[in-house]
Copies of this chain bind each other. A is one copy, B any other.
Amino acid sequence: MTQLDDVHTSSDAPKLGRRRDPAKDQQILDAAVEVLAETGFDGMTIDMVASRAGAGKATVYRRWTSKNELVLDAVACMKKGDLDSLAIPDTGTLRGDLVAMIRPPSIHDAERKLKVMAGLASMLSSAPELADAANEAIVEPRARINRMLLNRAIERGEISSDTDIQLISLISPSMVAYRSLILRKPVDREFLITIIDGIILPAVGLGPTAPAPSAPAE
């Protein structure tokens, strides 16, 4: 959060005349994320963001001091839109949980986030703040869910407690990012299932040699 009015909260709001519209802030941030995903940081202009948000360039600069601050806020606010964290199913098996996470909204959300990450990629090494914000908003939510599912599998005794959760939880984010960003191939349900059955489950000792407790047939 780096908006201009962070310090003075609402104490000095005008007692007369028009008030600043808080909803407009979100419209601008959303527009910034859109443009960021489409054109990247360098291709993005303030005019693009403003016009897409139905605002003027001056309005943007009334609320953020610079393009950098706007992008930083826009990325940081992306994680608010995460509804995945709430709806985590418990199917009784690790494979069931992993497969249940494959849903069209989840896939679409991930691809949009990856486009934003691609647009920021060249700046990550020179802007640590931005890199941290991007990591927190784009990478961590997905990895956090995977870690939770793996911990749940350990608790129910399905997999060994020696499992390298940190490593395993990054398999699907890594391979999805690579396929989408670098190979530019679609990330569909079939691909995700292949990762689960061909890589993740074998890595935690639930490979086809030791069949999964429930229904491995899909």
Contact = CB atoms under 8 A, between A and B. Distances in A.
B182 A135 contact: yes
A139 B209 contact: no
Given A118-B122, A202-B203, A203-B203, A170 B181 contact: no
**Best-buried of A125, A168, A179, A209 by chain B (most CB within 10 Å):** A125
A172 B120 CA distance: 23
B199 A171 contact: yes
A5 interface: no
Copy number in the complex reads 2
Interface residues of A, number: 45
Contacts of A121: 40, 118-119, 121-122, 181
Contacts of A148: none
Interface in A167-187: 167-168, 170-171, 173-175, 177-179, 181-184
A129 interface: no
Interface string A4-40: 0000000000000000000000000000000000011
A207 interface: yes
Contacts of A171: 171, 175, 199
Contact of A178 (B125, B126, B168, B178): B178
A106 B99 CA distance: 36
B184 A43 contact: no
A171 B173 CA distance: 11
A167 B202 contact: no
Contacts of A125: 115, 118, 184
6 contacts: A40-B122, A120-B122, A121-B121, A121-B122, A131-B184, A203-B203
Given A124-B182, A170-B178, A202-B205, 7 more contacts: A42-B42, A164-B198, A170-B175, A170-B179, A171-B175, A177-B177, A177-B182
